[in-house]
Structure formats: C-alpha cells, structure tokens
Amino acid sequence: MKSVLRALIPLAIFLALVGFLFKGLFLNPKEIPSPLVASLRHSLIYHV
C-alpha cells in the first residue's frame, strides 16, 4: 500500500501543476516581463 501511494506522488504533483497551468491560461503574463525581454529592451536603449 505504501509503495502504491509513493508511486502516485508524481501523478499528484502533475495534476496540481495542471491546475495552475489551466488557471494560467486566463491570466495576463505580459504584466510580468521575462528577464530576457527586459535585457533585450536594455540592449536597444543605450545609456551613455
């Protein structure tokens, strides 16, 4: 029984992750710029 429960852990983690990913589909990630997007902007604007 213990080994069955242990084997179920990856599935449980995945299902929790799916919940967050589903919620994420209805959020607006553009409000949080990625570090690379921020760096790219920086590369185009030079501060001399």
Partner 1 sequence: MIPEIGHFSLILALLTAVLLGSIPLIGAARGNAVWLGLAKPLVNVQFLLIAFAFICLAYAFATNDFSVAYVAKNSNSKLPLQFRIAAVWGGHEGSLLLWALILSMWTVAVGLFSKHIPDNMRARILGVMGLVSVGFLLFMLIASNPFERMIPAALDGSDLNPLLQDPGMIFHPPMLYMGYVGFSVAFAFSIAALLGGQLDAAWARWSRPWTTLAWVFLTIGIMLGSNWAYYELGWGGWWFWDAVENASFMPWLVGTALIHSLAVTEKRGSFKAWTVLLAICAFSLSLLGTFLVRSGVITSVHAFATDPRRGVFILAFLVVVIGGSLALYAWRAPKIGRGGQFDVVSRESFLLANNVLLAVAAMAVLLGTLYPLFVDALGYGKISVGPPYFDAVFAPLMAPALFLMGVGPIARWKESSLPELATRLRWALAISLILAIALPFALGNFTAWIGFGLFLAFWVFVTSFELIYKRLAKSTGSLMARIQANSRSWWGMVIAHLGIAVFTLGVTIVKGYESEIAVKMAPGEVAHLAGYDFTFDGVKAVQGPNFEASVGQIHVSKNGKLRTVLEPQKRIYTVSGMPMTEAGISPHFIHDLYASLGEPLGDGAWSVRIYHKPMVEWIWFGCLMMGFGGILAIADKRYRLRNRSKNDTPSNTSGAAV
Rule CB under 8 A: which residues touch partner 1? 3-4, 6-8, 10-11, 14-15, 17-18, 20-27, 29-40, 42-48
In the complex, the smallest distance separating the C-beta of residue 45 from partner 1, rounded to whole angstroms, is: 8
In the complex, the smallest distance separating the C-beta of residue 41 from partner 1, rounded to whole angstroms, is: 10
Helix (H) or strand (E) holding 34: none
Reported for 20-23, long-range contacts at CB under 8 A and 24+ positions apart, including other chains, are none
SS3 45: coil
Both tokens of 30, joined, read: 């553009």
In the complex, the smallest distance separating the C-beta of residue 6 from partner 1, rounded to whole angstroms, is: 8
